[in-house]
Chain A
Amino acid sequence: MALTAAQPQLLTVAQAASLLSVSDRTIRRWIEAERIPYVELPSGGYRIPQGALLASLRGNYDLASELKELDERHQDVSEEQVRSAASESD
């Protein structure tokens, strides 16, 4: 199995920003505020463990409120509606 807890995937700032579709600046802000774990290299660069970055979403955003608001608007949306719209666009 490729995924093991002993081999964290380390990302550059650009790769971390690309993963989450945020700016490099956002990642650097999280680094400065120590909102994500990271390695500071002797060269001054940073490396961010991918699993911890994804887990940090649950702390860096209010996902529960975002979900609640979206779900309230979409409570009557059926899976069939979504599938049908998706297949029409294929």
Chain B
Amino acid sequence: MPLVVVDTSVSLPATLSPRGLTRKFFVLLAYGAVSYEVEHGQLEIDDLVKQAEGSGGEVRGIERAKDQRALAADRRAALEELLPPGTPDDWVAIGSAPLFDEYERKLREIGKRIDPQLREEDVPRLRRQVEAICAAGSPPFDPKDAPALTRDPQDDPIVYTALLGGADLLISDDRDIVPDRVEHHYEHEGRLVAALTFGELMESRLAPLGIDFDEIEGSWLGQAYASMGRAIE
């Protein structure tokens, strides 16, 4: 299961350019997210119940989570039917509040240049598209506590998200995160993550899997969220 963190330099084009290659990668991550929900959701709840029993607490909201998991199974099946045979379902994205906040900050900075009609209410909607492809999160941390790892202090929480979350890959086209566009390894307190550009990811990690991205439509991301004919409250 490759665990990945997707930097703003990749998530911005993925959310704002529906026909681009980065969006197709988002479809792959959304497929991973619904698959993760189907395969691990019940295990998470079972563990939650055990932890609650140990602390004298009580678990609630399980019924809805169960319904959502059934819906996730339908969404996964619909995506499986659309995606080229052999598309992996185990690419899992990890997020964090600092990662999502940085996306939002950058979106506010450049959004109007891309879309002059961009409204205030569009910002949380776009942010949700980034949050929703993440199946898991790193342990919460204050961005101020992120160690100095890059040349740009604003990028440190991004790299720290990947390290704390146990990510295998950090995908970024930011020259401060991937200097000289050459795969770079970050290490902190025994944790290691490989940072590489989106192009390098495609070439060295995804191409060998034989995925034909020409056969993937960016609009299929919507299948990961579709109601599948069910009534959702």
Chain A interface residues (CB < 8 Å from chain B): 1-3, 5-11, 15, 18-21, 31, 34-42, 47, 49-52, 54-59, 61-64, 66-68, 70-71, 73-75, 77-79, 81-83, 85-86, 88-90
Q: Given contacts A5-B44, A56-B68, list 12 more A-B pairs with CB under 8 A.
A: A2-B191, A3-B136, A9-B136, A10-B48, A20-B100, A35-B233, A51-B41, A56-B65, A58-B71, A63-B132, A75-B19, A89-B106
Please state if A67 and B222 are interface contacts (CB–CB under 8 Å). yes
Q: Is B165 a contact partner of A40 (Cβ separation < 8 A)? A: no
Cα-based distance from A66 to B94 in the complex (angstroms): 22
Interface size on B, residues (CB 8 A): 91
Distance from A41 Cβ to chain B, minimum over Cβ atoms (Å): 5
List, sorted by A's number, 22 A–B pairs whose CB atoms are closer than 8 Å: A2-B164, A9-B140, A18-B140, A19-B97, A21-B97, A21-B101, A35-B64, A51-B137, A54-B131, A57-B132, A59-B71, A66-B125, A66-B128, A67-B221, A71-B219, A75-B18, A79-B21, A81-B17, A82-B110, A83-B13, A88-B110, A89-B106
Contacting residues, chain A, for B137 (C-beta < 8 A): 9, 19, 50-51, 54
CB distance from A82 to the nearest CB of B (A): 4
> Which B residues touch A8, using CB under 8 A?
44, 47-48
Interface string of B88-118 (1 = CB under 8 A from A): 0000101111001100101001100111010
Residue of B64, B75, B224, B226 with most partner-chain A CB within 10 A: B64
CA distance A19 to B104 in the complex (A): 12
Bound Cα distance from A35 to B232, whole angstroms? 11
Judging by beta carbons under 8 Å apart, are B57 and A40 in contact? Answer: yes
B residues lining the A interface (CB < 8 Å): 1, 3, 8-9, 12-13, 15-22, 33-34, 36-37, 39-41, 43-45, 47-48, 51-52, 55-65, 67-68, 71-72, 75, 92, 94-97, 100-101, 104, 106, 109-110, 113-115, 117, 122, 124-129, 131-132, 134-137, 139-140, 164-166, 168, 173-174, 191, 218-219, 221-222, 224-227, 232-233
CA distance A56 to B132 in the complex (A): 9
A10, B51: Cβ atoms closer than 8 Å: yes
| A79 B71 Cβ-Cβ under 8 A | no
Known: A42-B57, A82-B114. A52 touches B16 (CB 8 A): no
**Also in contact, A54 and B132, with CB within 8 A (given A31-B61, A41-B57):** yes
B47→A5 contact, CB < 8 A: yes
CA of A66 to CA of B188, assembled, Å: 38
Say yes or no: A81 contacts B114, CB within 8 Å: yes
